Structure 1
Amino acid sequence: MANELRDIALASKAWPFEEARKLLARYPDGAPAKGAVLFETGYGPSGLPHIGTFNEVLRTTIVRRAFAILSDIPTHLIAFSDDMDGLRKVPDNVPNQAMLREHLGKPLTRIPDPFGTHESFAHHNNAMLRDFLDRYGFEYEFASSTEYYASGRFDEALRGVLRRYDAIMGVMLPTLREERRATYSPVLPVDPKTGVVLQVPVEVIDAEAGTIRWTDPNDGEVMTGSALGGAAKLQWKVDWAMRWVALGVDYEMAGKDLINSVIQSSKICRILGAKPPEGFNYEMFLDEHGEKISKSKGNGLSLEQWLTYGPQESLAYYIYREPKRAKQLHIGVIPRAIDDYWKSVADYAAQPPEQQLGNPVHHIHDGKVPTGVPPVSFGLLLNLVGVLGANANADQVRTYLARYLPAGAPADPALDALVPYAIALHRDFIAPTLKRRAPEGVEIEALRALDASLAAIGDDADPAAAIQNEVYEIGKTFYGKERLRDWFKALYETLLGSEQGPRMGSFIALYGIDNSRRLIADALSKTAD
């Protein structure tokens, strides 16, 4: 079965397998000398981790899993924090901003934690990164730029940069504005007087000893010091390439906004004598206004926000799909993501293996896809919570669900788990937008007809199917087939208070005929006879 699955994966057009095949071609003769294929993701802890960070680790992990189907070569994932970077601006979404401004330019691991809980600002943000990666169950090794520089682990690669200093300058200078060329240096000394990461021209004195010379921009003193052991760091494009070389990185993806950076870093990587990693450039997530989400702005969604209103599987599903298409990331996308996820789960069992390998849930669950599907959609659950009102609680919602399920059917754990998400989402975001309008014109007579039809249905019929048929027939009578959309829109706006809604047969069956008739009566009471 493993060989059969491998053969199917080799031909699969699913993007994780397309990426994994790049790595297979990279090592046609088997495992590399270092013993494993190395995946890397990067994190800049100048701001709090957000879904963009989670996105990169998840997608990289999915490629790693796909490669494991194609090859027996071991793999390893490093989540690398650029925590030796100097703080360039104070994020908008952290406390004690005045204190942080006093430390601008210093490495993030040498800046006090504005939250007052960790050794430094970087230690705080690194802890947050590890926490949300651990909560999802990622397998990774955390790596700190500060620790790698200070321990000397990068020293030999740094000597390589100093040996090829002029060639690296030849790559970088043509990409810079004229005024930036005058001050650019691949190597950034850490000022021994102030602790600030200096953006100054540097002269290489002795590449093997790692000695450099620069002029102090504050007092004009000519300084000579080491570029090794954490006394200096590299400009980030050079740093990226150096890290690929020092660690032997085989795969790293990046956002579309870093395409030029990937190009320059790849050139430098080759100058340093190594092959650049495989990878691809994914499109960026946008907030509800179409702007790129940013750690410093804190726009878009945090991981905590998504997990307040939807399960982590729905987030993984949203992230997996169409990585090369820009997508908005805000609260409003969560309900659809939940229902699309469960639709894919429902499809999975009956699909042949080649389709299963293209189904997002296969990659989200590493082939261990759930077998049960909630009998009620999340959208329908939201509508139920909506009509129950602002004071709806989980027990009340579950009582309605129990009445809807077949007699004697056990509670559904997957559906039960969705109830708190629906209540929270409705309370915090949907309830303030709902406004039931009074019916008017033909809507009044159509609602009266629906009420009479519901009264005649009784409780013995197949509720959802019978009710849906009645709703449809009343719509044809009063609106005609060509205007049925207007009929359903009227139902949503007058009974539910929204422009969109569920299949009314399913909703009325869930909410109950008597309760639904009371909704109709309440709507009709707002009209003038």
Structure 2
Amino acid sequence: MTDTQIITAQALRDAALQSKAWPFEEARKVMKRLDANPSAKGHALFETGYGPSGLPHIGTFNEVLRTTMVRRAFEAMSDIPTRLVAFSDDMDGLRKVPDNVPNQAMLTEHLGKPLTDIPDPFGKYESFAHQNNAMLRAFLDRFGFEYEFVSSTERYKAGAFDEALRGVLRNYDAIMDIMLPTLRAERRATYSPVLPISPTSGIVLQVPVEVVDAEAGLVRFEDEGRTIEQSILSGGAKLQWKVDWAMRWVALDVDYEMYGKDLTDSGVQSGKIAQVLGGRRPEGLIYEMFLDEKGEKISKSKGNGLSLEEWLTYGSEESLAFFAYREPKSAKQLHIGVIPRAVDEYEQFRGQYAAQPIDKRLGNPAHHVHAARGEGVPAEGPPVSYGLLLNLVGVMGADATQAQVWAYLANYAPGVTPESAPSLAGLVENALAYNRDFVAPTLKRRKPEPNEALALAELDAQLVKLDSAASPEDIQNIVYEIGKDQRYGFEVLRDWFKALYQTLLGADQGPRMGSFIALYGIENSRRLIAEALAE
């Protein structure tokens, strides 16, 4: 069932206009912009920028996802058509060889050349840029995003930016006045907004440039001891990226583009340049950066980011979108360990959605996760949490199979199959992979303390009295009562649960034990208790 089947379009629009969810707040900026200065192009243009100098990671994907969320929020409030352009700055010169790609020596030989002129180190595509662009597009296509991919190289060489490049030459001195005060003394000596492509080496040159004829696009520069006079039009040069960014805003008439906090100053400078070129900077959100598990900024050249394939090996697509949605203005660590929590938190919000009033739905992350994909929020979810699945496969060991897991699930939720519950089938695969790679190697059950052993023996005695079909709630009540019994000396109930996790599951944290025992089975759970007591 979709949102439009549940609420009227007018009710949705009225609620969207009032919603405080950040995509709607961002979308209202675009509405205000277009109300004040209607665009001649007749649509709202959303843009994302990406530099294919390294393998795309989740941070790259995240920008397209978040921008799509804003786009869909805008569409909920306005009848103005929209477009989303995913722009690849693939004519940029390679400045550093990434650490996480093969054929490093070969890439080193091509430093300085446009990314579309550098061979693909993987040997699959026309160039290094084509390889990285293909990866990004595969990511975006997998999620069903609606976007237009635009290559910087193609636009430059086709002459699509020629008039904008003439504008840069006409305003060369004014642009220099904006940029030079922001640079160190040694950088100022060689800085130019225009980066000519060397006719001999093919390198994107960082040399001073003299404007010869702005209308003809002619500049003069030194290249390997020779004075060269060359047109910057139709691929003869590209722009320094801050100037390039501003030129793009003006040439494409971009209405919205978000970017990371590390580009705050660059955004200010590019905005000033856009104004000099006769345009204006787009609206946009300045988001905080993703950090790795060490708290360091994720970098394409370091390769310390989590790849999309890694996340989707261990977690659901929806959990990735949920993680990206939450608190864009707060720095977040992005590593394997955050995946299980993201999966279960997404499912919690999804489960709340159907019963919520309209205003609460529009603030629910699940709404934006699925709106970005052009679909409604599913009414049904998996019958067990991801955390519970991880605990199940954890006690089953690294060699657990899908068939074994589904046998337990069928007992816990009769009738459930991979065909009837595809979302659960995906989570089973994720849990088995996560357990194999990260959980099983670290699990270590400890010997119970004397008071814990007494409590475990009492739990076993109570379980033997239960029918095999006992509900998770009935089992949980037994667990609670034992933990609260003063004979076993637990100062707080948390100590009892921690003892259960450490002695039975080999972990410091775990699920509701009533749910776990019901899923794993009473006899199997009694076997775990016996093994612990044998210690």
Alignment partner of 1:214: what SS? strand
Q: Does 1:507 align with 2:513?
A: no
Match of 1:109 among 113, 116, 119: 116
Answer yes or no: is the 8 Å Cα contact 1:479–1:487 preserved in 2.
Answer: no
Instruction: Specify every segment of 5 or more residues in structure 2 that has no aligned partner in the other structure, as ranges.
Output: 1-7
Query: Match for 1:513: what amino acid?
Result: I
Select 1:312's aligned residue among 289, 314, 317.
317
Aligned to 2:354: 349
Cα separation, 2, equivalents of 1:30 and 1:228: 30
Secondary structure in 2 matching 1:229: helix
Deviations 1:405-425 (A, max 9, x none): 257999533323311111111
Q: Does 1:75 align with 2:79?
A: no
Offset, 1:441:
2.4
Counterparts of 2:312 and 2:38, CA distance in 1: 38
The Cα shift of 1:458 comes to 2.9
- Indicate which of 65, 72, 83 corresponds to 1:65: 72
1:474 aligns with 2:514: no
Map 1:439-478 onto structure 2 (within 5 A): 439-459=448-468, 462-477=470-485, 478=487
Distance 2:130 2:382 in 1: 41
Alignment partner of 1:271 out of 259, 271, 276: 276
Whether the aligned pair in 2 keeps the contact of 1:45 and 1:82 (CA below 8 Å) is yes
Shift of 1:479: 4.7
Aligned amino acid, residue 443 of structure 2: L
SS of the residue 1:296 aligns to: coil
1:133 corresponds to which of 140, 143, 153: 140
Residue 380 of structure 1: aligned partner: 388
Cα deviations across residues 197-252 of structure 1 (Å, max 9, x unaligned)?
Answer: 11111111111111111122x3x222211111111111000000001111111110
Deviation at 1:351, TM superposition (A): 0.2
Amino acid in the other structure paired with 1:212? V
CA distance in 2, matches of 1:385, 1:236: 49
Residues of 2 paired with 1:32 and 1:381: CA distance? 52
1:394 to 393, 402, 405: 402
SS where residue 87 of structure 2 aligns? strand
What's the CA shift for 1:135? 0.9
SS of the aligned residue for 2:191 comes to: coil
Aligned length: 523
Three-state SS of the structure 1 residue aligned to 2:234 is: coil
**Alpha-carbon contact 1:30-1:73 (below 8 Å) kept:** no
1:368 counterpart SS class: coil
- Partner-residue secondary structure (3-state), 2:493: helix
**Cα distance per residue 1:175-212 (max 9 Å; x no partner):** 00111110100001111010011111111111111111
| Residue matched to 2:262 | 257
Deviation at 1:5, TM superposition (A): 1.4
Q: Structure 1 residues 516-525 or 362-371, which shifts more?
A: 362-371
Q: 2 CA distance for matches of 1:249 and 1:525?
A: 69
RMSD: 1.5
State the partner residue of 2:226.
221
Secondary structure of 1:184's counterpart equals coil
Q: Which moved more, 1:391-400 or 1:358-367?
A: 358-367
Change (3 A) 1:408 1:145: closer
Matches within 5 A, 1:302-341: 302-341=307-346
State which drifts further: 24-33 or 426-435. Answer: 24-33
Determine the structure 2 residue equivalent to 1:43: 50
Distance in 2, Cα, partners of 1:30 & 1:185: 32
Question: Hey, what's the Cα distance between the residues in 1 that align with 2:489 and 2:42?
Answer: 70
Gaps of 5+ in 1: none
In structure 1, C-alpha distance between the alignment counterparts of 2:396 and 2:35, rounded to whole Å: 61
Higher deviation after alignment, 463-472 or 486-495 = 463-472
What whole-Å deviation, never above 9, does each CA across 1:115-144 have from its counterpart, x for those lacking one?
A: 111111111111111111111111111111
- Structure 2 counterparts to residues 147-296 of structure 1, below 5 A: 147-216=154-223, 218=224, 220-296=225-301
The aligned residue for residue 517 of structure 1 is: 526
- The 1:166–1:479 alpha-carbon spacing in structure 2 relative to 1, beyond 3 Å, is farther
SS in 1 for 2:363: coil
- Helix, strand or coil: the match of 1:457? coil
Residues 146-178 of structure 1: per-residue CA shift (max 9 Å, x gap): 111111110100000000001000000010011
Match 2:93 to one of 82, 86, 95: 86
Q: Is the 8 A contact 2:90 2:152 kept in 1?
A: yes
